[in-house]
Amino acid sequence: MSNMILKKEQLIPGQTSKLVIDAPHIAAKAEPGSFIILRVCEHGERIPLTIADTDREKGTITIVYLMLGKSTALLEELNEGDSILDLCGPLGRPTHISSGGTVICVGGGTGIAAMHHIAKGHHKAGNHVVAIIGARNKELLLFENELKAFAPEVLVSTDDGSYGHKGLVTDLLRRRLEQDNNVIEVVAVGPVPMMEAVAATTRPFGVKTTVSLNSIMVDGIGMCGACRVTVGNETRFACVDGPEFDGHQVDFAELRQRLNAFRPLERESYDHHCRCKCHESK
Q: How far is CA 27 from the centre of its chain?
A: 17
Segment (H or E) for 4? none
**Cα distance from N-terminal residue to C-terminal residue, the chain:** 36
pLDDT tens per residue, range 130-178: 999 999 999 999 999 999 999 999 999 999 999 999 999 999 999 999 9
∠ CA 176-182-188, nearest 5°, is 55
User: HEC string of 80-128?
Assistant: CCCECCEEEEEECCCCCCCCCCEEEEEEECCHHHHHHHHHHHHHHCCCE
**pLDDT 10s digits, 15-65:** 999 999 999 999 999 999 999 999 998 888 899 999 999 999 999 999 999
**Mean pLDDT on 210-238:** 91
The answer to whether 57 touches 102, Cβ cutoff 8 Å, is no
pLDDT beyond 80 at 265: no
Predicted confidence at residue 255, as pLDDT, reads 94
The amino acid occupying position 172 is: L
* Residues 193, 39: Cα–Cα separation, whole Å: 28
CB proximity list for 281: less than 8 A, separation 6 or greater: none
Residue range 63-79: average pLDDT? 92
pLDDT at residue 192, as a whole number:
95
Strands 183-189 and 102-108: parallel
Q: Is the pLDDT of residue 271 over 80?
A: no
